[in-house]
A and B are shown apart, each in its own frame.
Chain A
């Protein structure tokens, strides 16, 4: 007998945000008494998946497809013309990868083509952000609900703990969290950091995240060397959750120069950990940060550096950002987002019970 809900995802991977999101949806639905099944491109014994898409018949009451870059799972849905709930996590424009990783550029192009085809099969779109929701509506999907990514927000700082209200003399640690990728524009951040070093010679920049593509990391290191800041830029790579929390707690400001964020998990994590946020206003960034961070419309090196300098030198501003951030991040607490997800799915999965 087929389950009530099939959860379709290209693959389940440890440490992957979409995989965690899928597991939490599964947990939510099973707690509501619904039978679920995880369908992947290729079933593995260890990843918690239940079925390879080759054997999937598309006969569950509801099929929820996680979609970002091009995948075989999405292709099966299109071939079978199975109506789905499309959980859309956005697709980075291919132009960002064209000159760095042409294979990835092709993959995201394919994802966008599939998105157009999936639009006709979508019963309901679920978008991480209003930014993503607009894309779905532009494709002609009328029924679109905004429900953020589900993840367990790690916070190490209680909201009431007083922050440092003085200037961080001559230094300060600027943090970026996320894949090192051309669309995240860490090169802009290193450029801004080079200017910041003029005002704050002891400042440090920490880039946490895996490189994708690797040659972009190579170029970032070249840039840091060329600008004479390589000794003050830490490429921490992919870190454990525990270490990530420590970086949030250790740092003085989170900077985001990304040009394409469908949601921005690190922005929320930083806010939850009382870390002030300075971000470039692009895609869903402003929507995620709201009035809890400094959002600037110009990320040229001098502007970004001055924004970081202002936060690092103004204790009152830091305290305000910290308080607002901690409060604002509560919007994305798992108890809240689970409820939003349930509201988004309830009428579909409970029909006929």
Chain B
């Protein structure tokens, strides 16, 4: 195999690509469409210099006032002294100006954040699911622990028909247990480290936010949807949106399984940090019943997740 000529292999690949472009119009069109897609995006987005990856304009604006007076000042001694003095004086004056600007910017940013919060509430009330789907949890609540073996086996036992979707998939324990039953299953996880752990075990864990993935799925695509992990840290409006979306994406005879810890059982620090985030299994049952499911609670022997909600469809899905 060591005699393999890689230049020859490269040439073969390039020739094969040219041949396919000539013979398969669909491929040629696909390539053209893809290149056009990037051209459109690059043209429309490349000039957005102030928007960071999360579009957090306000955080960028908050840094506008920072100035750096510590620049090198030259090498000749006399000139250096003069430059040093000018720099210090400029610095004191610039600092005064920036302090004033900071006060102004701080007030402005606070008001803009208020507007943003109110708009968020308005969007929530209107049932709008934005793209900013990373849960707004805090610290420890952003990283719910992986499910115990008790929870994994219990949830896997409740998985009905496939395909099955696990939100969020974590490191893949639930996905693995369900796939071992021969059910087609994949998980979605937003933490790259957990995705990595899942991929290492060759499990179908896909990267992304749980809500956009659900929104992007086909209606009636899944036989079972498992809600667990990061779902614990979502605010109520996202949870309601999730129930509505899950209802749409479920088959007529589909099932939703919810494995979350009860926020009331959180330790004090976690409870205070997570105030308003996550809901108890009982409330999940209520939400699912409101969405037209026949929901029940099943006791689980795990110390953290003591009850698992199982919801079976009883009425046709309604649009949110």
Instruction: Take A80-B75, A211-B53, A215-B49 as given contacts and tell me if A247 and B196 are in contact as well, using a CB distance cutoff of 8 Å.
Output: yes
Q: Per-residue CB proximity of B193-211 to A under 8 Å, as 1/0?
A: 1011001100010111000
A204 within 8 A of B: yes
Report the minimum CB–CB distance from B237 to chain A (whole Å): 23
Instruction: Note all chain B residues with C-beta closer than 8 A to A227.
Output: 34, 37
Q: Is the CB of B14 within 8 A of A297?
A: yes
A100 within 8 A of B: yes
Q: Is the CB of B10 within 8 A of A320?
A: no
A293 within 8 A of B: yes
Q: Is the CB of A307 within 8 A of B10?
A: yes
A259 within 8 A of B: no
**Smallest CB-CB separation from A188: which chain B residue?**
B38
Q: Is the CB of A306 within 8 A of B199?
A: no
Among A222, A295, A319, residue most surrounded by chain B Cβ atoms (within 10 Å): A222
Q: Per-residue CB proximity of A40-66 to B under 8 Å, as 1/0?
A: 011000000000111000000000000
* Cβ-neighbour of A218 out of B9, B27, B34, B55 (below 8 A): B55
- Name the segment of A16-24, A83-91, A228-236 touching the other chain: A228-236
B48 within 8 A of A: yes
B106 within 8 A of A: no
* Cβ-neighbour of A320 out of B1, B17, B73 (below 8 A): B1
A13 within 8 A of B: no
* Cβ-neighbour of A296 out of B14, B52, B74 (below 8 A): B14
Instruction: Note all chain A residues with C-beta closer than 8 A to B70.
Output: 42
Within 8 A of B (CB), among A197-250: 198, 202, 204, 206, 211, 213-219, 221-223, 226-227, 230-237, 239, 243, 246-247, 250
CA separation between A195 and B16, bound complex, in Å?
14
Instruction: Note all chain B residues with C-beta closer than 8 A to A342.
Output: none
Q: Per-residue CB proximity of B37-55 to A under 8 Å, as 1/0?
A: 1100110011111011101
Among A75, A101, A230, residue most surrounded by chain B Cβ atoms (within 10 Å): A230
CA separation between A108 and B36, bound complex, in Å?
29
B216 within 8 A of A: yes
CA separation between A79 and B9, bound complex, in Å?
52
Instruction: Note all chain B residues with C-beta closer than 8 A to A99.
Output: 42, 46-47
Report the minimum CB–CB distance from A202 to chain B (whole Å): 7
Within 8 A of B (CB), among A72-125: 72, 75-76, 79-80, 99-102
Q: Is the CB of B200 within 8 A of A250?
A: yes
Report the minimum CB–CB distance from A302 to chain B (whole Å): 5
Instruction: Take A211-B53, A219-B45 as given contacts and tell me if A233 and B207 are in contact as well, using a CB distance cutoff of 8 Å.
Output: yes
A300 within 8 A of B: yes
**Smallest CB-CB separation from A298: which chain B residue?**
B14
Instruction: Take A219-B45, A231-B188, A307-B13 as given contacts and tell me if A72 and B72 are in contact as well, using a CB distance cutoff of 8 Å.
Output: yes
B31 within 8 A of A: yes
CA separation between A198 and B33, bound complex, in Å?
14
Count of chain B residues with a beta carbon within 8 Å of a chain A beta carbon: 52
Instruction: Take A187-B38, A219-B42 as given contacts and tell me if A102 and B49 are in contact as well, using a CB distance cutoff of 8 Å.
Output: yes
Instruction: Note all chain B residues with C-beta closer than 8 A to A297.
Output: 10, 14
Q: Is the CB of B6 within 8 A of A316?
A: no
Report the minimum CB–CB distance from B243 to chain A (whole Å): 21
Instruction: Take A191-B38, A219-B45, A296-B14 as given contacts and tell me if A231 and B207 are in contact as well, using a CB distance cutoff of 8 Å.
Output: yes
**Smallest CB-CB separation from B21: which chain A residue?**
A302
Q: Per-residue CB proximity of B14-28 to A under 8 Å, as 1/0?
A: 101100110000010
Q: Is the CB of B34 within 8 A of A194?
A: yes
A310 within 8 A of B: yes
CA separation between A235 and B195, bound complex, in Å?
10
* Cβ-neighbour of A301 out of B14, B31, B74, B75 (below 8 A): B31
CA separation between A205 and B7, bound complex, in Å?
25
A317 within 8 A of B: yes
* Cβ-neighbour of A41 out of B4, B55, B72, B196 (below 8 A): B72
Q: Is the CB of A222 within 8 A of B41?
A: yes
Q: Is the CB of B20 within 8 A of A294?
A: no
Report the minimum CB–CB distance from A318 to chain B (whole Å): 10
CA separation between A242 and B41, bound complex, in Å?
34
**Smallest CB-CB separation from A316: which chain B residue?**
B1
B303 within 8 A of A: no
B127 within 8 A of A: no
Instruction: Note all chain B residues with C-beta closer than 8 A to A173.
Output: 199
B218 within 8 A of A: no
Q: 9 A-B contacts, Cβ less than 8 Å apart?
A: A79-B74, A102-B49, A187-B42, A214-B51, A234-B207, A294-B6, A296-B13, A306-B13, A316-B4
B interface residues with partner A (beta carbon < 8 Å): 1-2, 4, 6-7, 9-10, 13-14, 16-17, 20-21, 27, 30-31, 34-35, 37-38, 41-42, 45-49, 51-53, 55, 70-75, 80, 188, 192-193, 195-196, 199-200, 204, 206-208, 212-213, 216
- For the complex with contacts A100-B49, A237-B192, 6 further pairs of A-B residues with Cβ separation under 8 Å are A211-B53, A231-B213, A232-B207, A295-B6, A323-B1, A323-B2
